[in-house]
Amino acid sequence: GGVNRGTDEQVLLGNLLATQRLLDAVSTRGPGGPRIVFTSSAQVYRMSGAPKPFRESHPAVPETVYGVAKKSAEDLIRLSGFPHCILRLT
């Protein structure tokens, strides 16, 4: 799981290292491996002054370290090329 408390460094490293380890594990499965379902957060959106509810078309502009960590983890998954689904929970 991810990290949502601690120092900025702990939050960033906890989320990104966990995601990279997941991708490393999936890569050992070879072609046709499992699909990744990643639980992200609404924190990837600009929270202050933004209309709610958020839509998928809403720009992802995180304002917190946790939001940056989750958005960066999403980007790692997208760049991996593995089949995936990203859920931004609120």
Residue 36 φ then ψ, to 5°? -100, 125
Task: Say how far apart CA 38 and CA 70 lie, in whole Å.
Answer: 10
**Cβ pair 11, 65 in contact under 8 A:** yes
pTM, whole model, 2 decimals? 0.85
40: DSSP letter:
E
* Domains defined for the chain, CATH in brackets: 8-89 (3.40.50.720)
**β-sheet bridge partners, residue 85:** 37
Question: Any idea which residue has 């002054």 for tokens?
Answer: 49
Per-residue pLDDT of 32-48, as tens digits, reads 778 999 999 999 998 78
**β-sheet bridge partners, residue 41:** 89
Per-residue pLDDT of 62-78, as tens digits, reads 999 999 999 999 999 99
**Cβ pair 77, 35 in contact under 8 A:** no
**Cβ pair 50, 1 in contact under 8 A:** no
